[in-house]
Amino acid sequence: MKLFLAEDDAVLADALLTSLGRLGFEVEHARDGNSAVQRLLSTDFAAVVLDIGLPGQDGLSVLRQVRAQKPTLPILLLTALDGVDDRVAGLDAGADDYLAKPFEFVELEARLRALLRRARVLDDSRDEAHFGALRLDRNGQRAWVGDTPLDLSARELAVLDVLLTHSEKVVTKEQIAAELGGEDLGVNAIEVYVHRLRKKIEPAGVGVRAVRGLGYLLEAREA
């Protein structure tokens, strides 16, 4: 599935390209508004992640031009502006949704899934993940052991999502940090979140095994 990313912050763009690529998306990237308009009007994409603060033409200008010709294209607006008027301006210009910076990558992924699902280009089966008695609702950002809800923080939910997405392989600490989209997350912080998560999901008969020198792996255990 082909996405378009318009983002001039090189560090953030690289993180998003890597994380979205790991999820199986093919992502084309532009760093300025003029290039974004040209590509978006000439090429078909499943959805767009559009930064509002682009050079050349800002994101709102790009949004209005694209929306005029492609009224059904799902567009998620990224903004560093958190005022109500700024958010309303983006939605009025034609954005389907917006996300204020800084954000967790897992939230961007959830919002993209919702947009793609509404556009009927994404299978609803990705909304939930299961591992034994453990269940994660990605849209609602909730998890259960059987019918019992788990009390997980946003970071713990995000780590669980990454582990469930790659449940058949070892996931490195660096990969977890990258998929959470947090440059401030070092390996020590990831270790803390995994430790807390491990204690909370063990009643589900699910363990998080530390593979020395590699990373973490979900495994079934006796509840």
- 46 lies in the same domain as 112: yes
Asked whether residue 109 falls in the same domain as residue 143, the answer is no
Considering the domain architecture, whether residues 48 and 148 belong to the same structural domain is answered as no
User: Where does a domain end: 65, 89, 118?
Assistant: 118
Could you tell me the residue range of the domain that residue 186 belongs to?
126-220
Buried b (16+ CB within 10 A) or exposed e, 4-23: bbbbbeeebbebbbebbeeb
Q: Note whether 36 and 63 are within 8 A (CB).
A: no
pTM of the model: 0.59
The number of C-alpha atoms within 13 Å of 58 and in the hemisphere containing its C-beta is 9
**214 with 150, same domain?**
yes
Residue 59, domain CATH = 3.40.50.2300
For residue range 95-130, what is the model confidence (pLDDT) as tens digits? 888 888 888 888 888 888 878 877 665 444 567 888
pLDDT digits (tens, 9 = 90+) for 128-140: 888 888 888 877 7
Ramachandran class of 93: left when φ > 0, alpha when ψ lies in -120 to 50, beta otherwise: alpha
In the beta sheet, which residues pair with residue 85? Answer: none
84 and 11 in a single domain? The answer is: yes
Residues 93 and 152 in one domain: no
3-54 pLDDT, tens digit per residue, is: 999 999 999 999 999 989 888 889 999 999 999 999 999 999 999 999 999 9
- Over 60: is that where the pLDDT of 200 sits? yes
Over range 173-189, report the average pLDDT: 72
Predicted pLDDT of residue 125: 52
For the CA atoms of the chain, what is the radius of gyration? 19
